[in-house]
Amino acid sequence: AQKVTQAQTEISVVEKEDVTLDCVYETRDTTYYLFWYKQPPSGELVFLIRRNSFDEQNEISGRYSWNFQKSTSSFNFTITASQVVDSAVYFCALSDPTNAGKSTFGDGTTLTVKP
Amino acid sequence: NAGVTQTPKFRILKIGQSMTLQCTQDMNHNYMYWYRQDPGMGLKLIYYSVGAGITDKGEVPNGYNVSRSTTEDFPLRLELAAPSQTSVYFCASIPDRGFTEAFFGQGTRLTVV
């Protein structure tokens, strides 16, 4: 069975601080996909990134970066110079590559960025 | 391009009532999914479909039914609503199994009283 653990339930930072959201996963599959989604207060789900299990290259997109370490089964997400608009619930998810939309989600981390 | 459209956005049901949550996508995606999100929790898969006429159970299918008669539509049926089904329901679609992005609807907030 697959499992995704986001141990940080809530994080609060002051604007311009860097913040890292942790994600640890369990799977017996040798190939899989990992995702991060953002859920702002308005409630919709916003796709942020997908990572294939065979690609351990870290990725940076603007203020966002992702650190994938297969050896520790972790896929952490860092926001640099956080902004108030980053306040949201962030979900990490894991899926079977034979049906990539069939995902197992973590319980989410609520990030609050204070001005 | 409308993407994935869910209706209604909000609904209050009485215990024992039935209803259908509608989901339509205009992207010609083969794969569609229904998830529920309970307060403070992540999403859990209810049912999914890999094409018209094909559906399968997810992690939490009890109390729900689905059908997929067309590529565009994937309705979720609640029979005999119970308070435990109070949740936010999300529909999603992807074009094929090797997608790069899932497209989610805006969600339906359902309260059963």
Q: Which of B41, B59, B94 sits opposite A100 (nearest CB)?
A: B94
**Mind spelling out the 3-state secondary structure of B19-74?**
EEEEEEECCCCCEEEEEEECCCCCEEEEEEEEECCEEEECCCCCCEEECCCCCCEC
List pLDDT tens digits, range B31-73: 999 999 998 899 999 999 999 999 999 999 999 999 999 999 9
Which of the residues B34, B43, B90 would you substitute to probe the A interface, choosing the one with the greatest number of A C-beta atoms within 10 Å?
Answer: B43
Q: What is the pLDDT of residue B90?
A: 97
Query: Averaged in consecutive runs of 10 residues, what is the pLDDT profile of chain A (115 residues)?
Result: 94 98 95 94 91 84 92 96 97 87 94 97
Interchain contact, B42 vs A100, CB within 8 Å: no
Q: Is B39 on the interface with A (CB under 8 A)?
A: no
Q: A56: Cβ–Cβ under 8 A, 6 or more apart, which residues?
A: A68, A69, A70
Q: Which of A44, A101, A105 sits opposite B107 (nearest CB)?
A: A44
> Considering chain B, what percentage of its residues have pLDDT values greater than 70?
97
Q: What is the token pair recorded at B75?
A: 């309705």
Given a contact cutoff of 8 angstroms between Cβ atoms, the answer to whether B98 and A100 are in contact is yes
Given pLDDT bands bounded at 50, 70 and 90, which one contains residue B1? low
Q: Which of A35, A43, A91 sits opposite B107 (nearest CB)?
A: A43
Fill in the DSSP letter of residue A70. G
Residues 20-79 of A with CB under 8 A from B: 35, 43-45, 47, 50
Q: What is the pLDDT of residue B107?
A: 96
Q: Is B3 on the interface with A (CB under 8 A)?
A: no
Instruction: Please report residues of B whose CB lies closer than 8 A to that of A47.
Output: 101-102, 104
Nearest Cα of chain A lies from the Cα of B41 at a distance, in angstroms, of 4
Q: Is B48 on the interface with A (CB under 8 A)?
A: yes
